[in-house]
Amino acid sequence: MAAMRRRCARWRCRCAEDAATRGRTAPGRRPARSCFSREHPLGWPLACNPFQEASPMNPVRQPARAPQAPDFEALIEAAGDLIYTLDLEGRFTYLNQAAERVLGFRARALMGLPFTEVLTENSAQIASRHYRQGVLGQDRTPFFEVEARHRDGRIVHLEVRAGPLMRGGQVVGRQGIARDINEIKALQSLVTEKSQRVTLLEERTRIAMAMYARIAELVHGAPEAGEAGDDKLREAQCMLSRLAAEKHGLSASDLKILGLLAQGRSNAEIAGIVHRSPHTVKDSVKKIMSRLGARRRAEAVACAIKAGLIAPGP
């Protein structure tokens, strides 16, 4: 061990002389250092040559970098959801940048205002109740939905998750995250509308099947039915016509005007029969032609007969 120490001492002297004469180390070499590693617990020499070539087989070790702490403030500001804090009076003490995207107001414009200022009347009552229960520690669920007013006047549906804001073990306010759920609400409305249409279609189908059954009963019934059977047949035809008219957005009065058009009546004649002014009849005829996709009266009558709105003439 003593011989090894003397050998390393000679290497250190040679390194000092080279540094004094050259003033710098050769390219690709590390500066002179002690052959005894300070990192090794026993101080054993890791390399006797103070100049080691930097190569893939012998890379120069770089000092390890300390782990960088996450920037939580930047994460909050970059969040897509609105993040806020309230004091014990219900006033905003912090809002992230998402407030401008969700509500249209910049964060500094809302600072110090009560949270009820950005909510509708009904939602302000709901949010105030949750706020009071939360401050008293009586909130049962952190989730609730509110309607907020955007700067442009439209309504924004928000899903809020709120919790207590603690400092030093004491409740100093509330904090929460508000998520824009307008798209979800639109999808829910669309699904509800589709369901209602399906229900209405099923009801109309049931009525139509019942009417077809009555028509079949009249057609194949006893001939002694006479005028009573004809009345039932006309009744069934009227009901089917009304169902077809609803599909085209036409009313019972529109069907009556269509029947008079099929007879070749003019607007003045139709006005006298339906007890309306000629101008009103003219507007009704235009609406009927538009709903049926016709340009002329005769074409509208033909479309109405084809759609089963009116019966063809004799």
Question: Residue 166's pLDDT is what?
Answer: 92
| Under 8 Å between Cβ of 148 and 156 | yes
Question: Residue 18's pLDDT is what?
Answer: 58
Low-confidence ranges of the chain (pLDDT < 50): 32, 34-48, 50-51
176-182, Cβ contacts within 8 angstroms, sequence gap of 24 or more: 176/83, 176/84, 176/142, 177/81, 177/82, 177/83, 178/81, 178/82, 178/83, 178/84, 178/102, 178/146, 178/148, 179/81, 179/82, 180/81, 180/82, 180/102, 180/156, 181/145, 181/157, 182/156, 182/157
| Six token digits for residue 267 | 């607007």
Q: How far apart are CA 29 and CA 18, in angstroms?
A: 13
Q: Is 220 helix (H, G, I), strand (E, B) or coil?
A: coil
Question: Residue 275's pLDDT is what?
Answer: 86
Question: Residue 276's pLDDT is what?
Answer: 86
Question: Residue 125's pLDDT is what?
Answer: 94
Question: Which residue do the tokens 């609105």 mark?
Answer: 82
Question: Residue 261's pLDDT is what?
Answer: 86
* pTM check: above 0.75: no
Question: Residue 94's pLDDT is what?
Answer: 95
In CATH, 248-314 is 3.20.20.70 = no
- β-bridge partners, 157: 147
Q: Is 248 helix (H, G, I), strand (E, B) or coil?
A: coil
Q: Which CATH number fits domain 79-180: 3.60.70.12, 3.60.15.10, 3.30.450.20, 3.30.565.10?
A: 3.30.450.20
Q: How far apart are CA 114 and CA 95, in angstroms?
A: 13
Question: Residue 83's pLDDT is what?
Answer: 95
